[in-house]
Amino acid sequence: MFAALRMLLVFIVLGVPAALIGIPWSALRGDFRTMYGWGMRIVRLGVRFAGIRIQVKGLENIPLGRACIFLSNHVSNLDPPLLLPTIPGMTSVFLKRSLMKIPLLGTAMRMAKFVPVARGHSREEAERSVEAAAAVLRDGLHITIFPEGTRSPDGRLLPFKQGAFFLGEATGAPMIPVVIYGTAKMMRKGSLKIYPGVAVVRFLPAVWPGSYTSREAMSEAVRAAMQRELAT
């Protein structure tokens, strides 16, 4: 539990002042990139204080100068804070709409153009989320999605939600499969305790939507790449 408390302490002691200063400053300047950089540094520091080391592999697989769609497996609540700071540039995220209600953090996420998604949402809401994500990509930001929609209880990939692949089809943005190892043992589902250790974030070769004739084929290509990596 001490590792989790150390992480939380870093987030509170550094994150709250950064938000109080950075949010109005970013709003006045009309540019959230500096605030985003502060946030990612704070997240990295919190992870380090929790005793977690991150090995990043496959950065050469990310196309330069392109807004990309990153699709990652999901086995732990540690996955987002480990993954997001490793992505070059600035990334938006598909996330639960309820998280936008968190004071300060919710405001920062809206300014960072994070895309809220409601569980059990209607087709119209799903279409609005895809349209919002497409606008983010057009602005030059990446999008990060956990296509399973929830954490896997055993590390095996769950069925993929199709929103990411509607987005890929609509924009043609390169899709980067990502596999995270190690976090399932560091923070188990249903527990707040963090166990220090080494996590690996591996970026796999891009899947280009224009090379596929259907969303289903695109989804299967991403899934197959992730499954091959998980099996090694």
**What pLDDT is recorded for position 78?**
95
Q: What is the pLDDT of residues 146-169, one digit of tens each?
A: 999 889 988 889 999 888 999 999
Percent of the chain predicted with pLDDT > 90: 63
Confidence of residue 215 (pLDDT cuts 50, 70, 90): very high
**What pLDDT is recorded for position 119?**
63
**What pLDDT is recorded for position 109?**
84
Residue 44 located in a structural domain: no
Q: Quote the tokens at residue 151.
A: 């954490």
How far apart, in whole angstroms, are the C-alpha atoms of residue 177 and residue 208?
11
Percent of the chain predicted with pLDDT > 70: 97
Average pLDDT, the chain: 90
- pLDDT exceeds 70 at position 64: yes
- pLDDT exceeds 80 at position 5: yes
- Number of compact structural domains in the chain: 1
Amino acid letter, residue 96:
K
**What pLDDT is recorded for position 110?**
84
Q: Quote the tokens at residue 138.
A: 């057009």
How far apart, in whole angstroms, are the C-alpha atoms of residue 171 and residue 213?
14
**What pLDDT is recorded for position 178?**
98
Contact 132, 109 (CB under 8 A): no
Residue 178 located in a structural domain: yes
Q: Quote the tokens at residue 135.
A: 């606008």
**What pLDDT is recorded for position 66?**
94
Contact 203, 179 (CB under 8 A): no
Residue 36 located in a structural domain: no
What is the spatial order of strands in the sheet that 142-145 belongs to? Answer: 52-57, 197-203, 175-181, 69-72, 142-145, 91-96, 115-117
Residue 163 located in a structural domain: yes
Residue 39 located in a structural domain: no
Residue 46 located in a structural domain: no
Q: Which helix (H) or strand (E) holds 105?
A: helix 105-111
User: Is residue 123 classed as helix, strand or coil in its secondary structure?
Assistant: helix
Residue 214 located in a structural domain: yes
Mean pLDDT over 187-191 rounds to 82
Confidence of residue 33 (pLDDT cuts 50, 70, 90): confident
Phi, psi (5° rounding) for residue 215?
A: -65, -35
Confidence of residue 122 (pLDDT cuts 50, 70, 90): low
- pLDDT exceeds 90 at position 82: yes
Give the domain range for residue 60.
54-231
- pLDDT exceeds 70 at position 45: yes
How far apart, in whole angstroms, are the C-alpha atoms of residue 83 and residue 180?
8
Q: Is beta strand 142-145 parallel, antiparallel or unpaired with respect to 115-117? A: unpaired
Q: Please tell me the number of Cα atoms within 13 Å of 180 on its side-chain side.
A: 27
Within its chain, how far is the Cα of 182 from the centroid? 17
**What pLDDT is recorded for position 124?**
74
Q: What is the CATH number of the domain that holds 120?
A: 3.40.1130.10
**151 CB neighbour count, 10 Å cutoff:** 19
Residue 118 located in a structural domain: yes
Mean pLDDT over 138-147 rounds to 94
Averaging pLDDT over each range in 7-11, 93-97, 192-196, 199-203, which range is the top one? 199-203
